[in-house]
Amino acid sequence: MTKQTRQLAAVITGQATSDGAGVKLKRIIHQQHQKAFDPFLLLDEFGSDEAVDYIGGFPSHPHRGFETVTYMLEGAMLHRDHLGNEGHLRAGDVQWMTAAHGIIHSEMPEQENGLLHGFQLWINLPAAEKMKPPHYKDIAAATIPHVSLANGGYIKVIAGDYVSDTETITGAVQGVTTQPLYLDVSLSPQQSLTIPIATQHTVLVYVYQGKLTVGTSAVVQSGPFVMNSVEEIEQAFRDYRNGALTL
């Protein structure tokens, strides 16, 4: 079978916003991107050591027709739903919630100070599964398969199968129709990694610490501007503010 190397199609800069009861976060994927990133609907990163930025949490709110994946890096959150389920998420834990037919839940900090840091990804459900019964899968950090790499690097296989040169590592979440591959990867400086991905799958790489080089070509998008580098995007905003955009 011929292997094809994917080229980087776009680089997106996350936008600062707030949600819930005033929780400050960075929104990487939002409604404007949904067609490009299907089945990924939304990706948020929340992270602050200032309690005022997160203490309000996400009081009871409804969902239907998709799945939410919450991955905690630091801190603790309590999830409750109208069915009586509870999920206590701490550093390294994951919750895979299938809203499907409908769920009303809350996501509240279990701390009054310190660092709270994590991500929430929304994944669309196929039409035939949108009205199925909702359910949770809480995944403790210790149960997530861990692949050691050179110089302290690692791969945490949260969902799907990671295929290396010598073995296949099965992730903590399986059996999802959209067949997601969800990995948390840490690389040492100058280290490279090839991850096999089905050609028909949408690929999203989010760099939350350090820098990463992917492929050889990129297009940078931020708001209404699409340029070749972050510097050119910043210049476009300056030109607009200074009245020089159309000169």
- What DSSP string runs through 196-207? ---TTS------
Q: Which pLDDT score is estimated for 178?
A: 92
Note whether residue 63 is domain-resident.
Answer: yes
Q: Which pLDDT score is estimated for 223?
A: 60
Q: Taking the CA of residue 149 as centre, how many other CA atoms within 13 Å lie in the half-sphere pointing to its CB?
A: 17
Inform me whether the pLDDT recorded for 20 exceeds 70.
yes
Number of domains in the chain: 1
Cα separation, 166 vs 2, in Å, equals: 19
Note whether residue 195 is domain-resident.
Answer: yes
Alpha-carbon distances of 76 from 39, 114, 136, 154, rounded to whole Å = 28, 10, 17, 23
Tokens found for residue 8: 């980087």
Mean pLDDT across 141-153: 94
Instruction: Report pLDDT digits (tens) over 25-38.
Output: 999 988 776 677 88
Gyration radius from the chain CA atoms: 19
Question: Shortest CA distance to 71 belongs to which of 1, 165, 171, 161?
Answer: 171
* CATH code for the domain in which residue 191 is found: 2.60.120.10
Q: Which pLDDT score is estimated for 69?
A: 96
- Domain extent for 22: 11-216
Inform me whether the pLDDT recorded for 215 exceeds 70.
no
Note whether residue 224 is domain-resident.
Answer: no
Note whether residue 68 is domain-resident.
Answer: yes
Instruction: Report pLDDT digits (tens) over 48-63.
Output: 999 999 999 999 999 9
Note whether residue 229 is domain-resident.
Answer: no
pLDDT tier at 6, thresholds 50, 70, 90: confident
Q: Which pLDDT score is estimated for 219?
A: 72
For the chain, the average pLDDT equals 89
> Which pTM does this prediction carry?
0.84
Q: Which pLDDT score is estimated for 226?
A: 64
Q: Which pLDDT score is estimated for 212?
A: 84
Note whether residue 153 is domain-resident.
Answer: yes
Note whether residue 245 is domain-resident.
Answer: no
Cα separation, 44 vs 19, in Å, equals: 10
Select the more confidently predicted residue: 240 or 133.
133
